[in-house]
Amino acid sequence: MATIPDRMLAAQLVEVECGRSGIQFAKALGLHVIAIDARDEALSLAKECGADIIVDARSGKEKVVEQVKKVTGGHGADATLNVSDHESAAATGAVVTKIHGSRGECLKMLEVVSKHNIKVNTNAFKGIKEVPKAIELAHSGKMQGKPVIIIDRSN
């Protein structure tokens, strides 16, 4: 397995069109792409679209992380694009992505947030069905804060 230098994107791909576009866009920006999937068809497509490294997710999370760390010199990917709805994809994406900043920097930031009572304005939307409403409000210019889509399968 080759080692990839410079900036790197780990793309977890499941949706064929999103995956195809994501890889091609990343390559057009000069990024190196690691494609992670659990389907032969998607892995083949990722290779056709120019992914530099192909990782089969069926090998298990530990092996996926090991392979990504190996080709990134132990650092992990600079960014991760996750277009999968698989329950483990987000966690895998977080683990293969390089840690940005230090624990100390994070603690300093949280101290400033606490000391100065910094608030984050959010707009809650309940469920995927409200995504169009969130998009419409964002495009209207009337949204103050960040949209947050709440997905709670227990309701």
CB of 98 closer than 8 Å to CB of 76: yes
CB of 68 closer than 8 Å to CB of 96: yes
- Residue 54: predicted pLDDT: 93
Please write down the HEC assignment for all residues of the chain: CCCCCCCEEEEECCCHHHHHHHHHHHHHCCCEEEEEECCHHHHHHHHHCCCCEEEEHHHCHHHHHHHHHHHCCCCCECEEEECCCCCCHHHHHHHHECCCCCHHHHHHHHHHHHHCCCCCCEEEEECHHHHHHHHHHHHHCCCCCEEEEECCCCC
- 96-124 pLDDT, tens per residue? 888 878 888 889 988 998 999 888 788 89
Same domain, 108 and 91: no
In a domain, 50, yes or no: yes
- Residue 8: predicted pLDDT: 63
- Residue 133: predicted pLDDT: 93
In a domain, 139, yes or no: yes
Supply the range of the domain harboring residue 129: 103-150
pTM (predicted TM-score): 0.59
φ and ψ of 92, to 5 deg: -65, -45
- Residue 23: predicted pLDDT: 86
Ranges under pLDDT 50 in the chain = 13-17
Q: Tell me how many domains the chain contains.
A: 2
Q: How far apart are CA 95 and CA 98, in angstroms?
A: 8
Same domain, 121 and 66: no
Same domain, 19 and 92: yes
- Residue 16: predicted pLDDT: 37
Same domain, 87 and 108: no
- Residue 59: predicted pLDDT: 94
Furthest CA-CA distance within the chain: 52
- Residue 34: predicted pLDDT: 92
In a domain, 118, yes or no: yes
- 48-60 pLDDT, tens per residue? 999 999 999 999 9
Same domain, 92 and 108: no
Residue finishing a domain among 53, 71, 96: 96
Enumerate the β-bridge partners of residue 35.
11, 54
